[in-house]
Amino acid sequence: MNEQVTLHNQMLDALLLDYTTGSLSRPLELLVETHIAMNPSSARALQLMLKLGGVLLEDIEPVSMSEGALDKVMRQIEQDNDNQINMPRVPNRTPKRPIDTLLPQKDCKKSWRRIGIGVSEHIIDFGDELGKASFYRIAPGRSVPSHHHEGAEITLVLEGGFTDEFGSYGPGDISIHEAGSEHQPVADNDGECLVFAVNEGNIRLTGPLGRVISMIIN
């Protein structure tokens, strides 16, 4: 296993661990929930993390609680259930993926914005403070303009696949790029590539073509 694959696996494990602790933003929670619905090995890894967390909690030295603390916690749990707040968990793997509720119809032209040759985007509004989340459609064999990430980017492949300077990714796979990275994804030739991407910083198009596209769409 090469160094790049090892690093990617470590970042994926860290992402799953953050999910179990409830420390991810809502876009990333949704991305992870869809990933584990599509990827049995990650679902098993997540279950193991949850079990390990339970064992560690059992080994922690108990501390005394203030009077009425238990009642307060139970009331909070009931309130969270009433408000349908999603706590970290492994969702049931059903044919309908969690992300599909936000995915627009492919033939709805109003929902998709062309951002390059054979590349379209649909932005999901989770609030500016949570970063940018988008669906991207890439035509077979087409490439996304080379771009630089000012913040981390986490991408989940929903359909098809793509290859960039760091590896190849298919349905259910997650691609993680840290701030400062630059790449140019190219869709596989056997079908359209559909991904869900969460960017925690701005994207800057690079290269001559990228600069031209930036002037056209901005």
Give the CATH number, domain containing residue 33.
Answer: 1.10.10.1320
User: Of 83, 98, 113, which residue constitutes the final position of a domain?
Assistant: 98
| Residue at a domain's end among 69, 98, 127 | 98
End-to-end CA distance of the chain: 41
Residues 12 and 93 both lie in one domain: yes
Q: Find all residues with CB under 8 Å of 152, minimum gap 6, and list them.
A: 176, 177, 178, 179, 199, 200, 201
Domain check: are 56 and 155 in the same one? Answer: no
Q: How far apart are CA 69 and CA 57, in angstroms?
A: 18
Q: What is the mean pLDDT of the chain?
A: 79
Residues 141 and 171 in one domain: yes
Q: Using CA atoms in the order 48, 53, 54, 57, what is the torsion angle rounded to 10 degrees? A: 160
H or E element that contains 142: none
User: Distance (Å, rounded) from C-alpha 67 to C-alpha 105?
Assistant: 54
Judgement on whether residues 73 and 113 belong to the same structural domain of the protein: no
- Say whether both 185 and 208 belong to one domain: yes
What pLDDT does 68 receive? 56
- Going from the C-alpha of 20 to that of each of 52, 91, 118, 193, the distances in angstroms are 11, 12, 37, 29
> Is there a single domain that holds both residue 128 and residue 78?
no
Do 128 and 195 share a structural domain? yes
Q: Looking at residue 181, what is its pLDDT?
A: 84
Task: Kindly state whether residues 57 and 108 are assigned to the same domain.
Answer: no
> 193, 159 in Cβ contact below 8 A?
yes
Q: Answer with the one of 98, 121, 139 that is the final residue of a domain.
A: 98
Instruction: Name which of 59, 28, 43, 23 is nearest 130 in CA terms.
Output: 28
Residue 60 and residue 34 in one domain:
yes
List, for residues 2-20, the tens digit of each pLDDT value: 566 777 888 998 999 899 8
| Calpha distance 188→194 (Å, rounded) | 11
State pLDDT tens for residues 42-101. Answer: 898 888 888 776 544 445 455 554 555 445 544 554 554 454 434 344 444 444 799 999
Q: Identify whether residues 195 and 106 lie together within a single domain.
A: yes
Q: Are residues 47 and 22 in the same domain?
A: yes
User: Residue 194 sits in a domain of what CATH number?
Assistant: 2.60.120.10
Please report which residue ranges of the chain form alpha helices under DSSP H.
3-20, 26-38, 40-59, 69-82, 207-217
Range of the structural domain that residue 127 is part of: 101-217
pLDDT at residue 207 greater than cutoff 60: yes
Per-residue pLDDT at 190 exceeds 80: yes
Same domain, 113 and 56: no
The tally of domains found in the chain comes to 2
